[in-house]
């Protein structure tokens, strides 16, 4: 009898598991169908509605016209479920919760469909704002902070552990244990795709009309895609539209500057200078060393330690006046780098004993050093687009290298140049002079960039390989050299 009961229970459990799997597959098939074909599939829609209602979720999840914000406003209890949705923690015994998988599939389908089915045609400011909000929910679902994947801002979502690992969905969507990718790993894969969708939405929006209306302009969220369009179109704006554009650029610059300034502060600093006596103040007191050095003065009878000498920590660091020359290609393919490096140059310009020069170029070179402390004003003076002739920039760089050993030249470009041989020879000459030459192919928020392979190979042979990837790599290189 017992064996028969156990067999029946096992059969029922297997049937229940199959039912959950079928429900989950229905939801994912509907998601794929809507992503690749905007027309509704009646059978999938009806089946998905039945699943959603049966598991106690609102039918609005299946409406592509309803934002995640709207869903959460009407059903506040769902907010916590969206956070870390695609990076779930496993159960204590590692067992699969198939009912929970179905629920996650319904919620994940909502976020993915809203973000990746962006449609076509004209876009309003409200539609752009709604998409940006939904993209933020996707980032939260992946265990990141809103805006992190699109802008590369550092920090961890609630699902990431200190070492970059945490819970994650298994390859079958089972919710089994897997590592949550670092934002730096996700960015090259997902960040550019989200950025491309956002850029397309911005292009389809009648930006000038939106900027001319303060109410609509106030609803815009600054992003790299939006800033690129504003910088390209700034010469065609005036009055209220221009003022609103400048306000958006200023907001974005301030946000990125705050992040980069934190990265600079956290980067490796210079070595301690032990030739400088430590400053004898309480905050520098080395208590452990003071106690250790005075142990011979311990009085067992009085149970008291007499201190006849205090020891202090060295805090002064070796600093040499350094010159940082930043050269940025401002052609159309380097907008992201132009924005990031302009802000980064202003931050390093604020460090003690660092003299910064900033040069931008396309077919002509422009010395932006007078405005290097204000990235907002610097960006307003750029002229995005056009070809590239680095020899024009090099003509401004050479006179600035007065002390090669104390000079670093950072050249940011995709290196698709008009006069390649001539430019490379002059770069090699700078390197041989003793100056530190750092070629950078991409310092974008996404970490994705294209570099001319001809230049890449020659820089490698020269012993100055191209830095490509996230801006944090350049921050580390510069901070190590300059401090």
Cα 95 to the chain's mean position, in Å? Answer: 34
Say yes or no: 76 and 188 in one domain. yes
366 in any annotated domain? yes
pLDDT of residue 333: 59
pLDDT of residue 171: 31
pLDDT of residue 329: 86
249 in any annotated domain? no
Say yes or no: 390 and 312 in one domain. no
Determine the longest span between alpha carbons in the chain, in angstroms.
95
Q: Contact 236/208 with Cβ under 8 angstroms?
A: yes
pLDDT of residue 394: 94
Domain that holds residue 334: 322-482
Strand duo 467-468 + 322-329: pairing:
unpaired
Per-residue pLDDT tens digits for 300-334: 888 888 888 888 876 655 455 588 898 988 775 56
Residue 172: left (phi > 0), alpha (psi -120 to 50), or beta?
A: alpha
pLDDT of residue 324: 87
Q: Contact 337/330 with Cβ under 8 angstroms?
A: no
Tokens of 274: 């032990």
pLDDT of residue 162: 32
Among the three residues 140, 168, 197, which one is the final residue of a domain in this structure? 197
At residue 424, what are phi and psi to the nearest 5 degrees? -65, -40
Say yes or no: 92 and 185 in one domain. yes
459: Cα within 13 Å, side-chain hemisphere:
23
Q: Contact 184/91 with Cβ under 8 angstroms?
A: no
CA angle, residues 44, 200, 115, in degrees to nearest 5: 35
Per-residue pLDDT tens digits for 161-182: 333 333 333 333 333 334 444 4
Indicate the number of domains in the chain.
3
pLDDT of residue 175: 38
Indicate the burial class of 433 (C-beta count within 10 angstroms; 0-12, 13-18, 19 or more): middle
170 in any annotated domain? no
Say yes or no: 309 and 345 in one domain. no
What's the pTM? 0.56
Cα 355 to the chain's mean position, in Å? Answer: 27
At residue 312, what are phi and psi to the nearest 5 degrees? -125, 150
310 in any annotated domain? yes
pLDDT of residue 442: 64
Listed as ranges, residues in the chain with pLDDT below 70 are 1-17, 38, 88-95, 151-189, 260, 263-279, 314-321, 332-335, 384-386, 442-449, 469-472, 479-483
pLDDT of residue 435: 92
How far is Cα 359 from Cα 378, in angstroms, rounded to an integer? 10
pLDDT of residue 15: 53
How far is Cα 111 from Cα 107, in angstroms, rounded to an integer? 7
Q: Spell out a b/e string for 439-464, using b for 16 or more CB atoms within 10 Å of the CB, else e.
A: bbbbbbbbbbbebbeebbebbeeeeb
Q: Spell out a b/e string for 324-354, using b for 16 or more CB atoms within 10 Å of the CB, else e.
A: bbbbbbbbebbbbbbbbbbbbbbbbbebeeb
Residue spans of beta strands (DSSP E) within 159-313? 298-299, 304-305
Residue 9 vs residues 6, 14, 91: alpha-carbon distances, Å: 5, 9, 22
Q: Contact 263/472 with Cβ under 8 angstroms?
A: yes
pLDDT of residue 443: 59
Considering Cα of 333, then 336, then 339, then 344, what sign does the dihedral take? negative
Say yes or no: 302 and 410 in one domain. no
**CA torsion angle for 126, 129, 130, 133 (degrees, to 10)?**
-160
Helices (H) and strands (E) in the chain, counts: 20, 8
Say yes or no: 312 and 340 in one domain. no
219 in any annotated domain? no
Say yes or no: 355 and 460 in one domain. yes
Q: Contact 467/477 with Cβ under 8 angstroms?
A: yes
Q: Which residues pair with 355 in a beta bridge?
A: 323
Say yes or no: 305 and 326 in one domain. no
Among the three residues 293, 316, 339, which one is the final residue of a domain in this structure? 316
Q: Spell out a b/e string for 380-400, using b for 16 or more CB atoms within 10 Å of the CB, else e.
A: bebebeeebbbbbbbebbeeb
307 in any annotated domain? yes
pLDDT of residue 432: 93
């Amino acid at each position: 009898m017992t064996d028969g009961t156990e067999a029946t229970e096992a059969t029922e459990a297997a049937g229940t598991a199959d039912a959950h799997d079928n429900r989950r597959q229905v939801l994912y098939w509907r998601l794929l169908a809507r992503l690749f074909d905007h027309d509704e599939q009646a059978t999938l829609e009806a089946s998905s509605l039945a699943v959603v209602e049966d598991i106690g979720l609102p039918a609005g999840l299946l409406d592509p016209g309803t934002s995640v914000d709207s869903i959460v406003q009407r059903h506040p209890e769902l907010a916590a479920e969206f956070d870390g949705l695609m990076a779930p923690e496993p159960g204590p015994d590692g067992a699969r919760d198939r009912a929970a998988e179905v629920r996650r599939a319904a919620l994940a389908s909502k976020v993915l469909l809203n973000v990746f089915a962006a449609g076509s045609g004209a876009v309003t400011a409200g539609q752009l704002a709604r998409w940006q909000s939904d993209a933020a929910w996707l980032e939260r679902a992946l265990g990141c902070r809103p805006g992190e994947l699109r802008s590369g801002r550092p920090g961890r979502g609630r699902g990431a552990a200190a070492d970059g690992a945490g819970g994650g969905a298994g390859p079958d969507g089972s919710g089994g244990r897997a590592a949550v990718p670092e934002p730096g790993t996700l960015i090259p894969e997902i960040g550019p795709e989200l950025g491309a969708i956002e850029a397309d939405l911005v292009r389809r929006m009648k930006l000038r009309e939106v900027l001319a209306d303060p109410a609509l302009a106030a609803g815009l969220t600054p992003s790299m895609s939006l800033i690129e369009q504003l910088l390209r179109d700034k010469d065609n704006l005036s009055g209220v539209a221009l003022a609103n554009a400048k306000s958006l650029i200023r907001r974005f610059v301030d946000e990125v500057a705050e992040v980069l300034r934190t990265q600079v502060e956290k980067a490796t600093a210079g070595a301690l200078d032990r030739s400088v006596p430590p400053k004898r103040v309480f905050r520098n007191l080395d208590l452990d060393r003071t106690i250790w050095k005075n142990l011979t003065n311990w009085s067992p009878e009085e149970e008291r330690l007499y201190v006849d000498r205090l020891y202090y920590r060295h805090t002064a660091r070796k600093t040499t006046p350094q010159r940082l020359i930043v050269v940025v290609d401002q052609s159309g393919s380097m907008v992201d780098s132009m924005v990031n490096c302009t802000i980064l140059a202003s931050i390093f310009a604020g460090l003690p004993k660092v003299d910064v020069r900033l040069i931008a170029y396309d077919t002509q070179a422009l010395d932006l050093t007078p405005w290097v402390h204000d990235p907002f004003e610097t960006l307003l003076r750029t002229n995005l687009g056009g070809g590239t002739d680095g020899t024009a920039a090099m003509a401004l760089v050479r006179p600035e290298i007065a002390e090669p050993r104390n000079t670093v030249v950072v050249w940011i470009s995709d290196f698709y140049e008009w006069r390649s041989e001539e430019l490379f020879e002059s770069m090699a000459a700078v390197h041989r002079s003793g100056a530190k030459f750092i070629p950078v192919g991409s310092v974008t928020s996404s970490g994705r960039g294209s570099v001319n392979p001809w230049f890449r190979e020659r820089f490698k042979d020269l012993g100055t390989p191209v830095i490509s990837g996230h801006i944090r790599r350049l921050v580390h290189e510069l901070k190590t050299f300059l401090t």
